[in-house]
Structure 1
Amino acid sequence: MPLDEFDRGIISSLQEDARMPVAAIADRVALSPTPVSRRIKRLEDDGIIRGYAPVLDPRKLGFELDAYVLINLAAHSDDNIERFESAIQANPYVIACHAVTGDMDYLVHVIARDVEHLSEITLKSLVRIPGVRDVKSIIVLETIKEKRALPLD
């Protein structure tokens, strides 16, 4: 669905602050609140806006370590993939998982309290998933850029 300048302005405003009042968005995009509300509803109904969530600071919640774990499966059978993906879904420290191209099968984003906690997550959870063959960890030293906002051009 093509977005017009008003839709892009509305989305941009919501990406900046999802709690922004409709009246403030309306002022920004030069529409009255009623059409802005209708457009937001349409964007939600069309699945362009999938939801609203607070952006949390992991460090303030005790998660000092951010890591990426690269995982290869021993075989790409339906059973292996299903077991792996179920275990990943159930692990609260896995905040994202992507099937990827290249040398590894999955890129798993993990948060942990510290190195020992990462070791526990990796050695007692991820490595023990039936069908996992190789696991490599990458620890984030510093985050240079992190945005959830998508470009709208």
Structure 2
Amino acid sequence: MPIDAFDRKILATLQDDARMPVAQVAERTALSATPVSRRIRKLEEDGVILGYQPVLDPRRLGLELSAYVLINLEAHRDGNIERFESAILDNDYVIACHAVTGDMDYLVHVVARDVEHLSQITLKSLLRIPGVRDVKSIIVLETVKPPRRLPLG
């Protein structure tokens, strides 16, 4: 589906505030409310807009620590991969997981209350997934730019 300049403006506005009323989005995009509403519905139907969710502050929820965990599997057999991915999907403290190229197989983003909690998640959960060989953790000291906006060029 081709995305035109109006769609880009709508998407940029919704990335700023997805709860913004259609009339306000229309104001910012120089369109009237009806075409904006129609375009938003089309962007949703076409899967450009996948959904809407609040952006939560992990620190205010007691999750003071953020870490990236690099994980290697023993072997790349279907069973190992399926068990690993299933365990990751069931772990609430894993907020993102990516299969990656390079020395490691997965990059896992974990949130935790503190270093001790991260240790528990790593030692008692991630390392105990059948088929996991190596785990390396990188603790985030400061987030310079949070991952919230996609470039709309």
Would you call these one fold, judging by a TM-score over 0.5? Answer: yes
Q: Kindly report which structure 2 residues correspond to 1:37-56, keeping only aligned pairs within 5 A, or say none.
A: 37-56=37-56
Write the deviation string for residues 30-58 of structure 1: whole angstroms up to 9, x where unpaired.
11100100000000000000000000000
The separation in 2 between residues aligned to 1:147 and 1:101, in whole angstroms, is 21
Residue matched to 1:85: 85
The separation in 1 between residues aligned to 2:97 and 2:63, in whole angstroms, is 18
The separation in 1 between residues aligned to 2:123 and 2:105, in whole angstroms, is 18
The separation in 2 between residues aligned to 1:38 and 1:143, in whole angstroms, is 37
Aligned-pair distance for 1:148?
1.1
Residue matched to 1:110: 110
The separation in 1 between residues aligned to 2:145 and 2:22, in whole angstroms, is 29
Residue matched to 2:8: 8
Secondary structure (helix, strand or coil) at the match of 1:101 reads coil
Letter matched to residue 26 of structure 1: A
Q: Kindly report which structure 2 residues correspond to 1:13-28, keeping only aligned pairs within 5 A, or say none.
A: 13-28=13-28
Q: Kindly report which structure 2 residues correspond to 1:55-70, keeping only aligned pairs within 5 A, or say none.
A: 55-70=55-70
Which runs of 5 or more structure 1 residues have no equivalent in the other structure? none
The separation in 2 between residues aligned to 1:12 and 1:142, in whole angstroms, is 26
Aligned residues: 153
Letter matched to residue 65 of structure 2: L
Of the structure 1 ranges 118-127 and 141-150, higher mean CA displacement relative to structure 2 is found in 141-150
The separation in 1 between residues aligned to 2:47 and 2:32, in whole angstroms, is 23
Residue matched to 1:127: 127
Aligned-pair distance for 1:109?
0.2
Aligned-pair distance for 1:3?
1.0
Write the deviation string for residues 57-108 of structure 1: whole angstroms up to 9, x where unpaired.
0000000000000000000000000000000000000000000000000000
Residue matched to 1:75: 75
Secondary structure (helix, strand or coil) at the match of 1:8 reads helix
Query: What is the root-mean-square deviation in Å for CA atoms of aligned residues?
Result: 0.5
Secondary structure (helix, strand or coil) at the match of 2:101 reads coil
Detail structure 1 runs of 4+ shifted over 2 Å in the superposition.
none
Letter matched to residue 16 of structure 1: D
Aligned-pair distance for 1:147?
3.3
